[in-house]
């Protein structure tokens, strides 16, 4: 798979909060429907089903990039305080050990120390959006951790190392939230702050590669940056996807309100 028409896109998506599409959390039904509709549309993003999905979730950090290698990953219910049904959700997608080995190879070739994990399950940054996109759980899926350093430059490099996977049938998904301030989300009143940061993100994410990388590295200087992301783990999957985009220009694939704040998704390719 080497021609441009068959090259996989790479996407940065908002995965919402907890098990939101599958249990009643008292959220605005219209907002839930719009985000769920976008995530479902990912299942038809490519002409043919991906060979595998590589998910980079905001909910896994390690000292070095760590790759899930299990052929049958379990579920990881990494949330708490939700109704009992939240802990009965299943999404039994197979893993892909061969693609996992390829991820390790690419990262090591780019100078990264790496690790593997054969026990970790799908966290909700992966199983929630992908259960919507691939409800039959028939697309092999694996996860790659973020770096606990939270260094934006390192995450852009990480993504750049993974770019060849796009020509090998692998759909790279950076799963986070373009606004992630839990205090504001729980208290309400964050619409203005989120709108300010979202405007910056929508401008920067679609720039050409050089300027895009420069602006993303300096994300903390953006208007309302730390109000939107007191801690940046939910933004860093965007750095990975922007790195894997290579020279591709981005487009805003989704933008709307969720829990009363502005959120966006970005697609490259």
- Total-model pTM: 0.96
In the numeric block, the tokens 């991906």 are attached to 50
Q: How many domains does the chain have?
A: 1
Q: Which element (helix H / strand E) includes 107?
A: helix 97-109
Whether the CB-CB separation of 25 and 114 falls below 8 Å is answered with no
Segment 49-83, tens digit of pLDDT = 999 999 999 999 999 999 999 999 999 999 999 99
* Rounded Cα–Cα distance for residues 129 and 15 (Å): 6
Secondary structure of residue 258 in the 3-state scheme:
strand
pLDDT of residue 1: 37
Segment 84-134, tens digit of pLDDT = 999 999 999 999 999 999 999 999 999 999 999 999 999 999 999 999 999
Q: Could you tell me the residue range of the domain that residue 242 belongs to?
A: 4-268
pLDDT surpasses 70 at 258:
yes
Q: Give the CATH number of the domain where residue 101 resides.
A: 3.40.830.10
pLDDT surpasses 70 at 4:
no
């Amino acid at each position: 798979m080497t021609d441009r028409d068959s090259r996989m896109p790479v996407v940065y998506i908002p995965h919402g909060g907890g098990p939101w599409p599958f249990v009643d959390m008292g959220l605005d039904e219209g907002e839930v429907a719009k985000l769920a509709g976008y995530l479902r549309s990912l299942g038809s993003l490519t002409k043919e089903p991906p060979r595998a999905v590589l998910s980079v979730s905001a909910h896994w950090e390690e000292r070095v990039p760590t790759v899930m290698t299990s052929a049958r990953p379990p579920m990881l219910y990494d949330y708490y305080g939700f109704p009992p049904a939240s802990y009965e959700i299943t999404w039994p997608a197979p893993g892909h050990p061969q693609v996992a080995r390829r991820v390790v190879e690419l990262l090591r070739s780019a100078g990264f120390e790496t690790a593997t994990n054969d026990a970790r399950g799908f966290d909700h940054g992966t199983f929630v959006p992908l259960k919507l996109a691939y409800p039959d759980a028939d697309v092999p899926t694996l996860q790659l951790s973020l770096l606990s350093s939270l260094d934006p430059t390192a995450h852009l490099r990480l993504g750049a190392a993974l770019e060849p996977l796009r020509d090998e049938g692998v759909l790279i998904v950076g799963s986070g939230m373009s606004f992630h301030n839990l205090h504001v989300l729980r208290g309400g009143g964050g619409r203005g702050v989120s709108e300010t940061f979202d405007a910056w993100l929508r401008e920067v994410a679609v720039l050409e590669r050089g300027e895009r990388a420069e602006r993303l590295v300096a994300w903390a200087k953006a208007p309302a940056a730390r109000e939107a992301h007191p801690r940046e783990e939910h933004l860093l999957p965007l750095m990975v996807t922007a790195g894997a985009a290579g020279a591709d220009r981005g487009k805003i694939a989704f933008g709307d309100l969720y829990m009363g704040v502005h959120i966006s998704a970005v697609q490259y390719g």
